[in-house]
């Protein structure tokens, strides 16, 4: 049976970059954040719940999600963000488990930004955390998303601190531009393949 492995990291840590390296090693891969966006459009019960709580304008006439409206709605309202997460995350977690159960490789990888925050790490056999110094994370996100420093700090504060994630993670990859990434990834890969 294929091991279920999760990979996560705070915004700007480089978890998506690290995930791409695992994918090049033919590791079956599930992108929970991308899947969540699809589920918000394709899953009838999720759509109904979002419309019930946020109004029909949360979707455009063509059925696509009005992401801008939704992000503006939740930006400074933690309770509304929790509500959306309570609607979407259980469906994503359930679908990720069903997907992972079908895999036949030594292990499959699920990438999720909120792996520990949602509790979905409890459905996995192992977890990998990608870390980077906060200042480096801030600079990466400012450059990537062309947003203000304050906006990045606001996003970071909405996620669990790295210290709490490190305590829960089975493996930690340091992505600080000094520690070589590839040896860390290959070491974890080999351990998972031989478990």
Question: What's the whole-number mean pLDDT along residues 26-37?
Answer: 95
Report the share of the chain in percent with pLDDT over 90: 87
Q: Give the right CATH number for 1-28+106-195 from 3.30.70.20, 2.30.30.40, 1.20.1070.10, 3.40.50.300.
A: 3.40.50.300
DSSP labels, 157-188: HTS--HHHHHHH-SEEEE-SSSS-HHHHHHHH
Report the CATH architecture of 32-102: 3-Layer(aba) Sandwich (3.40)
- What does the pLDDT look like over 100-154, one tens digit per residue? 999 999 999 999 999 998 899 999 999 999 999 999 999 999 999 999 999 899 8
**What CA–CA distance (Å, rounded) separates 9 from 188?**
16
pTM value?
0.91
């Amino acid at each position: 049976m294929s091991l279920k492995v999760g990979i996560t990291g705070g915004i700007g840590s480089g978890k998506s970059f690290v995930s791409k390296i695992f994918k090049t090693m033919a590791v079956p891969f599930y992108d929970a954040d991308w899947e969540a966006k699809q589920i918000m459009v394709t899953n009838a019960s999720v759509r109904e719940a979002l419309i019930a709580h946020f109004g029909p304008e949360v979707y455009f006439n063509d059925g696509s999600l009005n992401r801008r409206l939704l992000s503006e709605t939740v930006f400074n309202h933690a309770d509304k963000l929790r509500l959306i997460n309570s609607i979407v995350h259980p469906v994503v977690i359930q679908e990720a488990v069903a997907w992972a159960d079908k895999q036949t490789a030594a292990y499959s990888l699920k990438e999720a930004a909120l792996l520990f925050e949602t509790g979905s790490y409890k459905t996995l056999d192992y977890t990998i955390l990608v870390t980077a110094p906060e200042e480096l994370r801030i600079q990466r996100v400012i450059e990537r998303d062309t947003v203000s420093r304050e906006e990045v700090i606001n996003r970071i504060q909405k996620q669990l601190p790295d210290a709490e994630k490190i305590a829960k993670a089975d493996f930690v990859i340091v992505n600080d531009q000094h520690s070589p990434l590839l040896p860390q990834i290959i070491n974890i890969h080999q351990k998972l393949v031989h478990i």
